[in-house]
Structure 1
Amino acid sequence: MPNLASVVGEIAQRMTARDERGKVASYIPELAKVPIDQFGIAVFTADGETIVAGDAEVPFSIQSISKVFTLTLALGKVGDQLWTRVGREPSGNPFNSIVQLEYEKGKPRNPFINAGAIAVTDVLLAGHEPREVLGEILRFCRFVAEDDSVAIDEHVARSEKQTGFLNTALANYMKAFKVLENPVDHALGVYFHHCSITMSCRQLAMAGRYLAFSGRLPGKDVSVISSERARRINALMLTCGHYDGSGDFAFRVGLPGKSGVGGGILAVAPGEASIAVWSPGLDPHGNSVLGSLALEHLAKAMRWSVFGD
């Protein structure tokens, strides 16, 4: 087996040298300001080692990666009842498609497209004020990352709210079909804010450990979720974690992963490692160009694909 530190270092060098990087998410003004010439990678291994390279300590907006954490919390709150309001199938459509939502009578296809994540946020709101729910989400992210400096970027949250017309339309449509039970502005407010959480690659790789190691934080006698629930979340990440690019990511990388339009990707090699990559340039599906490529190289070099060598 090749040396992981050497592989990670080589990948960072190769990514830094590449010219084709995609385009930053210009539809959210704050994200459009992020310099495209950045790449970071962090890998947390089963023996507790963290290997980093490139811009791994630079905080970035995790965007839709936060949906993994809100899904974890919602399943902890209502269990399998969640699936009466949100599906578990790949969408095959853009992450903010309203056509699919109309066709399926207001029930989102999965918890990782925008409509599904708004519905999951609504579940967390039941009986609570938005500020309380946002505090719960942030505390959970800090807990699994073991880092109290994880925070929300209020500038990004404000930018999302000011330009989030499609998300507002999705939420109102779901409200009409009684998929949302709380006020639309409450669900959207919490949603915009949890998508605006910032982490570095190092923090994100730490935060994903419970998904890589059967629901537990390695090296600690702490169970975050059951091993069965970790498997199920990983299954959804594999099939739905990259929107309408999920099939291609599974084909090329072969690992459960969740992307965000901030350019980050959280990936899981079950039993082996929790991995975070970041580069703000995106492909047409909204997934990091260099991040996807780096994970493809890493999974191949380390033989980490869930489908075998």
Structure 2
Amino acid sequence: MALDLDAIIAEIADGMAKVEHRGRVADYIPELAKVDPAYFGMAVATADGRMLCGGHATTPFSIQSISKVFALTLALGKVGDQLWNRVGREPSGNAFNSIVQLEHEQGIPRNPFINAGAIVVADVNLGGHQPRVAIGELLRFVRYLSGDDGIAINEAVAASETMTGFRNMALANYMRAFGNIHHAPELVLGSYFHQCAIEMDCRQLALAGRYLMLDGRHPGGGRVVSPRRARRINALMLTCGHYDASGDFAFRVGIPGKSGVGGGILAIVPGRASIAVWSPGLNASGNSQLGTRALEELAQRTGWSVFSPPPD
């Protein structure tokens, strides 16, 4: 029987609007502390070209660490598998901004989705240029993926992160001491903070993720990455995309996903859908509380999971 996705998404959005306990916004970043936790949005871009939305799906938000998926894609395009000499591919088991493992592991971050790993990726993408060049390249890439030239950086959020990002500064300088950051840390962080401040809505984000749904192809034609690279990025999203809660997310949802402290989650069902959810209240692990709950409900009601057999 065909899924009534419109009804499912509408019912999920309606249910999320009624939830009383919505988590806590990321108040350690002053601009994010201002966001109303009452928001909830969901957008699903399907492999057959449909776009289905519910809730506040066209309200822009700061994508934060979801940008790490797109930055990783660019970095792999620049240096290929050489990247894995500087960044691991294992779950960290620690908070996204932890410095604990870096000393024991000689300045090599566990994976590209924790902050330390993403800062190394930003160093690769900087490539000897000024931060404005690197962030301009990433912004053009996201616009190309989504087909929307209106996507921009929220400069107030970028400034807010720069003023309060002391732990990220410590991570960058610590890895520089191990020789795993090649540019001046302030330049790398300038690029990284602006990358995290890219602003998108659920609809734009779901569209941007389609290449990972389509085995690396752009729906408009051509190839963004090889099928093998698309599968590997999805694998990293499943195992590392929710920090120290990645295992629980895989257990409950079973879909590759990357979260951000702005409350967004990009989730990919290979061959079927690219999904974006957003609710700014976070759980104890720094992931969207209602976004996670909505994706779990969507997976249950659709049967979508990388651990489920494809439909007949």
- Cα deviation, residue 239, structure 1: 0.2
2: CA distance, partners of 1:227 / 1:300: 27
Matched ranges for 1:286-301 at <5 A? 286-301=286-301
Counterpart amino acid of residue 293 in structure 1: R
Give 1:11 deviation, angstroms.
0.5
- State the SS of the aligned residue for 2:157: helix
Deviation per residue, 1:121-149 (Å, 9 max, x gap) = 00111222211111000000100011011
Match of 1:31 in 2: 32
The C-alpha deviation readout for 1:51-107, integer Å capped at 9, x for no partner, is: 001000000000000000000000000000000000000000001111111221111
- Give the equivalent residue in structure 2 for 1:217: 218
Equivalent position of 1:167 in the other structure: 168
For the pair 1:232 / 2:236, whether they are aligned, the reply is no
CA positional deviation for 1:214: 0.4
Which residue of structure 1 aligns with residue 267 of structure 2?
267
- 1:2 deviates by 2.8
Alignment match, 1:182:
183
The residue number in structure 2 matching 1:84 is 85
Give SS of 2:275's match.
strand
1:23 shift after superposition: 0.3
Q: Give secondary structure in 2 for the equivalent of 1:217.
A: coil
Equivalent residue of 1:72, what SS? helix
In structure 1, stretches of 5+ residues that fail to align are none
1:220-268: CA deviations, max 9, x gaps?
2221111110000000000000000100000000000000000000000
In structure 1, the residue matched to 2:69 is: 68
Equivalent residue number for residue 247 of structure 2: 247
Q: Deviations over 1:168-205 (max 9, x none)?
A: 00000000000000110010000000000000000000
Q: Secondary structure at the match of 1:223?
A: coil
Paired with 1:262 and 1:214, the residues of 2 have a C-alpha distance of 27
Alignment correspondent of 1:15? 16
CA shift for structure 1 position 20: 1.3
Q: Distance in 2 between matches of 1:62 and 1:50?
A: 20
CA distance, structure 2, for counterparts of residue 96 and residue 49 of structure 1: 37
1:304 aligns to what?
304
Please give the secondary structure, in 1, of the residue aligned with 2:143. helix
SS in 1 for 2:274: strand
- TM-score computed with the length of structure 1 as normaliser: 0.99
Task: Tell me if 1:282 matches 2:282.
Answer: yes
Question: Which of 220-229 and 190-199 deviates more?
Answer: 220-229
How far has the Cα of 1:159 moved from its partner?
A: 0.3
Following superposition of structure 1 onto structure 2, how do residues 115-130 of structure 1 map, counting pairs within 5 Å?
115-130=116-131
Contact 2:128 2:183 survives alignment (8 Å): no
Match of 2:95 in 1: 94
The list of structure 1 runs, each at least 4 consecutive aligned residues, that deviate by more than 2 angstroms after superposition, is none
Provide the C-alpha distance between the structure 2 equivalents of 1:191 and 1:217, rounded to a whole number of angstroms.
Answer: 25
Aligned to 1:52, the other structure's residue is in SS state: strand
The separation in 1 between residues aligned to 2:136 and 2:3, in whole angstroms, is: 42
Q: Is the 8 A contact 2:148 2:204 kept in 1?
A: yes
Residue type matched to 1:50 in 2?
M
Counterpart CA distance in 1 for 2:213 and 2:30 is 34
Paired residue type of 2:172: A
The Cα shift of 1:38 comes to: 0.5
Aligned with 2:52: secondary structure? strand
CA distance in 1, matches of 2:104, 2:26: 28
Q: Secondary structure at the match of 1:74?
A: helix
C-alpha RMSD over aligned residues: 0.7
Q: Which amino acid aligns with 2:119?
A: I
CA distance in 2, matches of 1:12, 1:243: 25
Cα shift readout 1:273-306 (whole Å, capped 9, x = no counterpart): 0000000000011000000000001111111111
Q: Is the 8 A contact 2:255 2:267 kept in 1?
A: yes
Please give the secondary structure, in 2, of the residue aligned with 1:137. Answer: helix
Q: Alignment identity in percent? A: 66
